[in-house]
Amino acid sequence: MFTVYAWVTGFAAFLFGSAAVVYLIGHEFPKAQADMKRLPRSWVPVLGLMLAAGSLGLLGGFGVPMLGTLAASGLVLYFVGALLAHLRVGSRKLGNWAFFFATAVASLGVNLAYHWV
């Protein structure tokens, strides 16, 4: 079980960490997404910091299990909020969202299964 936990958590940390970098370096994609969802562009770095915190929290969960559980839970909530932002503006382009959400749910699931069941 540890192998599955380590792979899923490592992949999720890499994925969300990479997304955080894209948000924090000022790339145009997150800015365009914020514009499409009618969010202030000033939120883009904050959202990037949230992704970075989630990624680091997942990695920290290897040492402190509760930290990983809280980070994974926070990422699931982050992507629930992203879904609401999409639906609020009538966007039905949810492919990327579904992949990121599924990864967050998987990281939470393996974390709970490995540490708490």
Q: How many domains does the chain contain in total?
A: 1
Distance, C-alpha 23 to centroid of its chain: 12
How far is the C-alpha of 9 from the C-alpha of 62, rounded, in Å?
9
- Judge contact between 47 and 96, C-beta under 8 A: no
- Judge contact between 2 and 114, C-beta under 8 A: yes
Q: What angle do CA 51, 9, 63 make, to 5 degrees?
A: 95
Per-residue confidence (pLDDT) for residue 50, from 0 to 100:
98
Digit-coded pLDDT (tens) for 37-92: 999 999 999 999 999 999 999 999 999 999 999 999 999 999 999 999 999 999 98
Kindly give the interhelix angle for 95-115 and 65-88, rounded to the nearest 10 degrees.
160
Which DSSP category does 64 fall into? S
Per-residue confidence (pLDDT) for residue 84, from 0 to 100:
96
Provide, rounded to the nearest whole percent, the portion of the chain with pLDDT above 70: 100
Residue 43, exposed/middle/buried by CB under 10 A (0-12, 13-18, 19+)? middle
Domain carrying residue 47? 2-115
